[in-house]
């Protein structure tokens, strides 16, 4: 297998992502992969705008029984703008934590029958990210996340899909956890029916969404083929979850977020 070089751009109303990636899937014909990423990301939240530039180097190799292990080191320089003088202290303090130097270890097991539009199998992952300490930078935190996703064929090409995820982030000894490393939920990838980053603890003094140090969410959906040869599917979904701030002494009175609805999904020949 040869080396892969990719350049991607994703520009929307409130975000832009530019990525340049190089991947060698087999170092010296071994089972070890490596890659380098360069990125420039901008994202507008309700209470601030995050502009991040940086890069990462990554490695991956098989373990056992379809488990793979991935290791990476990343360096990110982030600037927060559009911050009000009376914004939540969590947001204002994050302006003084621009550089994140971090290592991340992930374990992934993937038995799906296909990468997109799977009809059976599962994908399970665990990850741990450590920033600061001997790796330098301004941020000082540890972040753990887990995700499990299962596909079950029903009848006539109909598939039931269930996904569950949970995570927690801790400040390290120096206590420097930037607001954008906290958990925000909402949007197509977490809780549908809620806008991106709208499911979040709210500072009662300022009304700003400040993210949680814990999160969980589940997605359940029935996927029905409409025009299977053209990659067109109908989806009935029910999602739920929450982002929780156990490290901050306030109660914003929010309930668990729930989203239900119908969507049309198109899997194009070059991916969804």
CATH, residue 69: 2.40.160.50
This prediction has a pTM of 0.91
Q: Which domain holds residue 209?
A: 4-266
Q: What is the pLDDT of residue 157?
A: 93
Q: Is residue 272 part of a domain?
A: no
Tell me, yes or no, whether 31 lies in a domain: yes
Q: Which residues contact 270 (CB under 8 A, 6 or more apart)?
A: none
Residues 187-200 have a mean pLDDT of 94
Between the CA atoms of 69, 71, 77 and 79, what dihedral angle is there, to the nearest 10 degrees?
20
CB atoms within 10 A of CB 193: 15
Residue 168 lies in a domain: yes
Summarize pLDDT for 17-44 with one digit per residue, the tens.
Answer: 999 999 999 888 889 999 999 999 999 8
pLDDT digits (tens, 9 = 90+) for 117-128: 899 999 999 999
């Amino acid at each position: 297998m040869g080396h892969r070089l990719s350049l991607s751009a994703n520009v929307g109303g409130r975000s832009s992502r530019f990525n340049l990636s190089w991947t060698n899937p087999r170092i010296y014909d071994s089972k070890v992969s490596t890659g380098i990423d360069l990125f420039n990301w901008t994202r507008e939240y309700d209470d601030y705008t995050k502009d991040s530039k940086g890069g990462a180097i990554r490695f991956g190799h098989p373990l056992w029984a379809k488990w793979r292990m991935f290791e990476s080191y990343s360096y990110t320089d982030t600037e927060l703008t559009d911050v009000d003088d009376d914004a939540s202290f969590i947001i204002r303090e994050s302006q003084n934590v621009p550089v994140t130097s971090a290592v991340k270890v992930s374990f992934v097991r993937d038995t799906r029958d296909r990468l997109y539009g799977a009809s059976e199998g599962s994908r399970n992952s665990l990850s741990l990210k450590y920033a600061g300490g001997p790796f330098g930078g301004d941020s000082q935190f540890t972040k753990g996340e887990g995700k499990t996703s299962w596909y079950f064929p029903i009848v006539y090409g109909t598939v039931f899909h269930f996904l569950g995820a949970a995570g927690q982030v801790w400040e390290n000894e120096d206590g420097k956890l930037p607001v954008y490393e906290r958990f925000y939920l909402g949007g197509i990838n977490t809780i549908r029916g809620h806008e991106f980053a709208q499911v979040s603890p709210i500072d009662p003094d300022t009304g700003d969404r400040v993210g949680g140090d814990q999160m969980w969410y589940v997605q359940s959906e029935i996927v029905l083929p409409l025009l299977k040869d053209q990659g067109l599917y109908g989806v009935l979904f029910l999602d739920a979850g929450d982002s929780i701030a156990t490290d901050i002494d306030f109660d914003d009175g929010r309930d668990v977020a729930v989203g239900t609805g119908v969507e049309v999904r198109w899997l194009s020949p070059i991916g969804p």
